């Protein structure tokens, strides 16, 4: 796993951290002193306006649709683990699925290919200043979850686990409970560090009332017995709070639209800047 992290120290100086973490997927990666993931975590903790670029060849050797699907799952799992281990949102959109990457610290850009190849093309690249501005707008500050929301999520998860383990229960509802446990566990993990990608996925699935997994029965996780689905409400509350706090880290929304989806590219970011400037002048 290749990592390139950019951030500002307490004096406002821009620092860059590079690492090749072969054992990033170890359970103790973040706590083992000589593991690059631990060093990366310490860098993130000591810096502000953090941006994490990452990648490896998830799709290398894939030939069938099933192999590509499995590679995508591996990529999603890596995104979740890196976010939790580093203590910040490692954006899925900042992943370059290649082992050959060149990071340009001044521009805040990641490009596929060897350094000489990338530098040769850089001078001919259009709208470089706008792309740098877009990249700079996505620097992250420290995220702190709402203790009330987090506490309710943890309590609801504990209740469902107790129901699942009870000898006296409706056994035909075990699959629904299992999906609720999986979703809440991942949502709690994501909310602690402001992982928008995971929270957005579940919040939008709950809103559309669609399954989050290939099993058609996974949609049952959003079913309600009376009133509204507590699981759906908690996931949506966590997403809304994380989105609001993340957007507040930058005057132009920190790379997020008002609905919590990603700003697509530098062109859309320029439109956001124009609207923000217009509002400020009124």
Mean pLDDT for back-to-back runs of 10 residues, the chain (282 residues): 92 92 90 94 97 85 87 92 97 82 81 84 86 94 98 97 85 86 98 98 96 92 84 98 98 96 95 84 61
What's the confidence (pLDDT) of residue 281? 64
One domain, residues 128 and 194: no
Domain that holds residue 36: 2-136
Q: What is the dihedral of CA 176, 89, 273, 280, to 10 degrees?
A: 90
Q: Determine, yes or no, domain membership for 127.
A: yes
What's the confidence (pLDDT) of residue 282? 58
Last residue of a domain, one of 109, 136, 163: 136
Beta bridge partners of 102: 111
One domain, residues 13 and 129: yes
One domain, residues 8 and 122: yes
Q: Determine, yes or no, domain membership for 254.
A: no
Phi, psi dihedral angles at 173 (to 5 degrees): -95, 5
Classify 20 as helix, strand or coil: strand
Q: Determine, yes or no, domain membership for 65.
A: yes
Beta bridge partners of 5: 17, 52
What's the confidence (pLDDT) of residue 2? 86
Beta bridge partners of 48: 8
8 A C-beta contact, residue 149 and residue 234: yes
């Amino acid at each position: 796993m290749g990592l390139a992290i950019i951030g500002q120290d307490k004096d406002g100086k821009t620092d860059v951290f590079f690492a090749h973490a072969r054992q990033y997927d170890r359970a103790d990666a973040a706590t083992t002193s000589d593991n690059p993931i631990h060093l990366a975590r310490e860098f993130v903790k000591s810096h502000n306006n953090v941006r994490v670029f990452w990648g490896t060849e998830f799709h290398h050797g894939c030939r069938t649709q099933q192999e590509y699907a499995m590679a995508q799952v591996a990529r999603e799992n890596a995104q979740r683990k890196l976010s939790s281990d580093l203590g910040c949102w490692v954006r899925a959109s900042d992943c370059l699925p290649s082992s050959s990457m060149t990071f340009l610290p001044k521009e805040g850009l990641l490009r596929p290919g060897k350094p000489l190849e990338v530098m040769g093309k850089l001078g001919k690249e259009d709208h470089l200043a706008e792309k740098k501005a877009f990249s700079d707008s996505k620097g992250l500050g420290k995220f702190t979850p709402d203790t009330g929301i987090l506490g309710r999520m943890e309590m609801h998860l504990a209740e469902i686990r107790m129901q699942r383990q009870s000898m006296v229960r409706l056994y035909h509802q075990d699959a629904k409970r299992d999906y609720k446990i999986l979703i809440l566990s991942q949502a709690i993990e994501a909310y602690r560090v402001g992982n928008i990608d995971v929270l957005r996925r579940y919040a939008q699935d709950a809103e559309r009332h669609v399954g989050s997994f290939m099993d058609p029965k996974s949609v049952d996780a959003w079913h309600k017995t009376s009133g509204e689905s507590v699981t759906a409400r908690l996931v949506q509350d966590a997403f809304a709070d994380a989105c609001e706090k993340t957007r507040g880290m930058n005057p132009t929304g920190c790379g997020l639209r008002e609905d919590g989806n990603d700003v697509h590219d530098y062109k859309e970011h320029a439109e956001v800047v124009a609207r923000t400037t217009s509002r400020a002048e009124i």
